[in-house]
Chain A
Amino acid sequence: MTVLFDGVASGLLLFLISVGLSVTLGLMNFVNLAHGAFAMLGGYICVLLLSRLGVPFLLTLPIVVLACAAAGALLERTLYRRLYGASHLDQVLFSIGLVFMAISTAHFFFGSQQQPLQLPAFLRGQLDIPGLDIGIYRLFLIAVGLAIAAGLQWMLTRTHFGAELRAAVDNRRAARGLGIDVDRVFSLAFALGSALAGLGGALGVETLGLDPEFPVKYIVYFLVVVAVGGSGNITGSLYASLILGITDVVGKYYLPQAGAFFIDAVMVLTLIFRPQGLFGRGAVR
């Protein structure tokens, strides 16, 4: 039971980090392998605020979100924008370049060691229910993850901005013709994706650790979620994250020597049998 619970928590953490990629890769169709770099940025900001400036943990999160959104918007305006029409290969190369730069910058400023994160007292410890040990931080992750999922789903399907974004993604020219400021919508969506990555990165420091290799180490996990969940599908990403989180934790618990093998296998198998993802729309564009 505890293993299952940990799996759910780890799945929701995965969801928090990857859902931003689901926005940029899934909705905007940009292969942004640098997604992990934004998550890493969020992690470092959170750790620095916490340890150097003594900002309380919960207060660091909105700062992280704002900072990552700003960084994302800035990069989108200056660089990413030029590559919307480019081939997937160009986007991949470009974002790998960004990842490499992010890694060496992190090395330069913070060194290669793991960054420690001191959680506030009320998030530490465990609830002991017979037969089930619930880490309070895990519970917190689950709550935040579900809240974000609900919020995003609501935003995409019910708000004006969500409608504009979907329109701009489906047919950019027609959307522009209808008077939608497509550039602005894409900038905002990209900033949103980056902010979510940063939030996930900050929340993930405790579980995943944080060092300069972060963007490469976990890149597969993010891609897997989008691949399995189907692109641009928030609920799909949520289910996929849960499946993967549980598979990963259970696999590592019962068969530790297999390591990350399971999660890679899940991705490859899914893509073989359902190239559009488990929960994807019928056709991939």
Chain B
Amino acid sequence: MTVLPPATTAPAAAPAAQRVDTGPLARGSRWQPAEFAFWLLPVLAWFVFPENLSLLTQIAITALFALSLDLILGYAGIVSLGHAAFFGLGAYAAGLLAKYGYGDPLLGLAAAVALAAAAGFLSSILVLRGSDLTRLMVTLGVSLMLYEAANKLTDFTGGVDGLQGVEMKLLLGLFRFDMVGRTSYIYCLAVLFLLFWVARHLVHSPFGLGLRGIRQNALRMPALGVPVNRRLVAVYTIGAAYAGVAGALLTQTTQFVSIDVFSFPRSAELLLILVLGGTGSLYGAMLGTIVFMVAHYLLADINPQYWQFWLGLLLVLVVLFAREGIMGGLRRLAAVWARRKSAAARP
């Protein structure tokens, strides 16, 4: 839990600030039965699809990536066309470390977090200036610059051929990354769950509430004592760090870094995942990922070009007709259901 912002007025007001009733916040953050059910899914998947563990791992990684964008876009309302930049930085950080002999997975994660968070912090200063349009272009520009850099620094990154020779050590000194991908799946799932848990705390804290307020009305929040810019920088840095972890996980489980990690389609796909699931809800990001990845798996086998067509069509349709995504649909269903039940109870 983040602490409430300290009262900035005279000391006499301080006790009043401490007596703020956080009851509603605490009640809102209690785990619902549906959430427990949701987290049983990946456990079930382990038993039901034991031969598809690599796909499941991909889903977990993408879910984490979607979560990171959701924090900055869904909650704080910062639009980004270049979120892949941080994903790629994390991927290369973990990959290069492992290539030069420091293949401990957790060390790789730490390095990815550090690099991505630093990059996120620095670029947040650029990104937070200006309007949505400027943000779109700056984020796009930054990610394309990184793509160019990775493309041209062939000695360092392998260029378009990708970074090869990534060798992972044992996880926690105990578990080998096996061919079937059992270790990878459990590892990624554990990281995802841990970071989800942190994010869940974050969005239910006063910090998260402040972010949502900023998205809805950035001009009013300073009047309520929320330092808008500092909050945005913080959440952008956190989002970047999350994306870096996702990138590092991808490197460590595939033992390879493709230059693709920086590419524009990756950022665009991520946006689609998020709007498909519904922005501004952590479970929306996860559901969107599952639906998207499974559809990709089933359709892309037929023909990658057709897949892109359906992807585009889906984007257009979602924007035009289903702006609230899967979570919005579910919420509407739940509302209808609740109304039926109360109507049935009344007579």
Contacts and interface: CB of A to CB of B under 8 A. Distances in A.
Interface of A: 31, 79, 82-83, 86-90, 92-94, 96-105, 107-108, 216, 219-220, 223-224, 227, 257-261, 264-265, 267-268, 271-272, 275, 284
Contacts of A227: 134, 137
A101 B313 contact: yes
A31 B137 CA distance: 11
A103 B308 CA distance: 8
A275 B141 contact: no
B8 interface: no
A216 B265 contact: yes
B148 A264 contact: yes
Contacts of A260: 144, 148
Given A98-B316, A220-B144, A275-B130, A93 B271 contact: yes
Contacts of B314: 97
Given A97-B315, A104-B306, A261-B145, 20 more contacts: A86-B319, A87-B132, A88-B132, A88-B136, A93-B272, A100-B315, A104-B307, A104-B309, A108-B306, A224-B141, A227-B137, A257-B152, A258-B152, A264-B144, A267-B137, A268-B126, A268-B141, A268-B142, A271-B126, A272-B126
B149 A261 contact: yes
B243 interface: no
Nearest to B268: A96
A200 to B, nearest CB: 20
A77 to B, nearest CB: 14
A64 to B, nearest CB: 23
Contacts of B309: 100-101, 104-105, 108
A275 B316 contact: no
Contact of A275 (B129, B136, B152, B319): B129
A268 B140 CA distance: 9
A97 B312 contact: yes
A98 to B, nearest CB: 6
Interface string B315-346: 11011100100000000000000000000000
B67 interface: no
Interface of A is mostly: helix
Contacts of B311: 97, 100
A268 B138 contact: yes
B9 interface: no
Interface of B: 73, 79, 81, 126, 129-134, 136-138, 140-142, 144-145, 148-149, 151-152, 264-265, 268, 271-272, 275, 305-309, 311-316, 318-320, 323
A98 B312 CA distance: 6
A284 B138 contact: no
A100 B129 CA distance: 30
Nearest to A25: B133
Given A82-B320, A83-B319, A96 B137 contact: no
A89 B69 CA distance: 13
Contacts of B145: 261, 264-265, 268
Contact of B315 (A94, A103, A259, A267): A94
A219 B271 CA distance: 17
B328 to A, nearest CB: 14
Contacts of B318: 93
A271 B313 contact: no
A122 B78 CA distance: 52
Contacts of A92: 79, 81, 136, 271
22 contacts: A89-B132, A92-B136, A94-B316, A94-B320, A96-B272, A100-B268, A100-B315, A104-B308, A104-B309, A219-B264, A220-B140, A220-B144, A258-B148, A259-B151, A264-B144, A268-B142, A271-B137, A271-B138, A271-B141, A272-B126, A275-B129, A275-B134
A101 B314 CA distance: 10
